[in-house]
Amino acid sequence: MSCENNIVVKSPMDGKVIDISEVRDEVFAKKLVGDGVAVKIKTGEIVSPVNGTVKLILQNKHGIGIETIEGIDILLHINTENFQDNIKHFHPVVKEGDSVKIGDDIMKIDEKILEKEELVACVVVSNMSMVKGIEKSIDGDVSKEDTIFKIVI
């Protein structure tokens, strides 16, 4: 979805939006990977926040990169305390090269991990040099239908 030189980014999950600077992972909190928002995850269903092509699935399965139709790279990265122990809880349902639309299933997370650990997903534009900026749209509780930010191109 784009309009007036903006790309709409939807929430990839039900949860609660927090400022990315509050994420425990300094790489994301300091915006070293890019700018965006973070969402405390409430359920294990993860959907595509944009229309585009899956370009990357991290080896430990807790991150997916999607390139929008406009060439903007969106990284969805789920922060977890112990990647090695928790890798078995992340189940991508897409593969690199797949086309996705907003709302398409891209990952499932076992509910077991959500019961024992608070997971936070960072949704960032990883090629910020390609955009003018982002406009955050919402704070607090979100569902998969909600716009979390707009990318100004």
pLDDT band for 1, please (50, 70, 90 cuts).
Answer: very low
Q: Tell me if residue 89 is catalytic.
A: no
pTM for this prediction: 0.93
The span from the CA of 63 to the CA of 119, in Å, is: 13
Q: Report the DSSP pairing between strands 133-136 and 6-10.
A: unpaired
Count of the separate structural domains present in the chain? 1
CATH code at position 129: 2.70.70.10
| Catalytic site residue from 62, 77, 89, 91 | 77
The span from the CA of 15 to the CA of 38, in Å, is: 10
Confidence at residue 60, expressed as pLDDT on a 0 to 100 scale: 86
Q: What are 30-52's pLDDT values in tens digits?
A: 999 999 999 999 999 999 999 99
Domain carrying residue 145: 2-152
Q: Is the dihedral angle over the CA atoms 102, 148, 140, 115 positive or is it negative?
A: positive
Confidence at residue 82, expressed as pLDDT on a 0 to 100 scale: 66
Cα first-last separation, the chain: 13
